[in-house]
Amino acid sequence: MAAKPEIPVALTIAGSDSSSGAGIQADLKTFGALGVYGLTAITCIVAETPGRVSEIEGVSPGMVCAQIEVLFKSFPVAAIKTGLLFSGDIVSAVAQTLRTHAATAAIPLVIDPVMVATSGDLLLRDDTVEAYERELFPIAALITPNLGEAARLLGEPIEDLPAMRRAGAMLTEKYRVPVLLKGGHLSGQDAIDLLFLAGQVVEFSEPFSRGINTHGTGCTYSAAITAGLASGLSLEEAVRRAKQFVTATIAQHLSWETASGASLRALNHSPAIP
């Protein structure tokens, strides 16, 4: 009997979302949908529902690193992503651990610099952002900020596509790593993202699903990119497939009615991708 092909393995280092629409839960659903076995290192526990963050409690930096260490000893990790890292201490600890394991093995690292929840809740303090810039960004294969996060990193607003192009160029110049700038908050019929890679700018565009209030799109997008890299796709190929995947999770979203009669929506992480 022929041996079964080995399933790629990816690691997500992020927070746990009690509503399962974002964070670790969204990452694992995405990995599974795209044929990748997912590992987790939990950085914090978030009590939330779509549109509202109720409470966040961090895991100790030592425990975060212990999770990462034991996984590297046992699994052939092929790609890594980070999501919500909660504190500067955790960012520093994760960066040190990944330098020891991932950097020497040339394992690609996708950083989703989660700073603000979809609800608008601020998730990171300024000192934590500085730790990202100083310790984690330099070892990234890709950084995936949305417009709000990019504006915070640059200290200026980004209001249209030309401003996106300028901002992406500034970010790549500042951090010296590839950047995927996500333009989902711009007006228009299409959701446009720009990949700044090796001096080139690649545009990705998909129809915008307006009026669907959900969360976890950034987590899902970066997890899908990570799954692609773990499966051997190039960075551009991984982003292209991930863009199609996250667009489908939004368009084919799930919905319920709450006890109060309000609509509750969540991404569908098992969509039929065209």
* Active centre residues (catalytic): 182, 214, 216-219
How far apart, in Å, are the Cα atoms of 16 and each of 13, 110, 119, 236? 10, 18, 16, 28
Residue 40 phi/psi, 5° resolution?
-135, 145
Q: How many CB atoms lie within 10 A of CB 220?
A: 25
86-to-13, 130, 257 alpha-carbon distances in Å: 11, 13, 31
Residues 110 and 12: their CA atoms lie apart, in Å, by 9
Q: What amino acid is encoded at 127 in this protein?
A: D
1: how many CB neighbours lie within 10 A of its CB? 3
Main-chain dihedrals φ then ψ at residue 30, nearest 5 degrees: -65, -45
d(CA 13, CA 27): 10
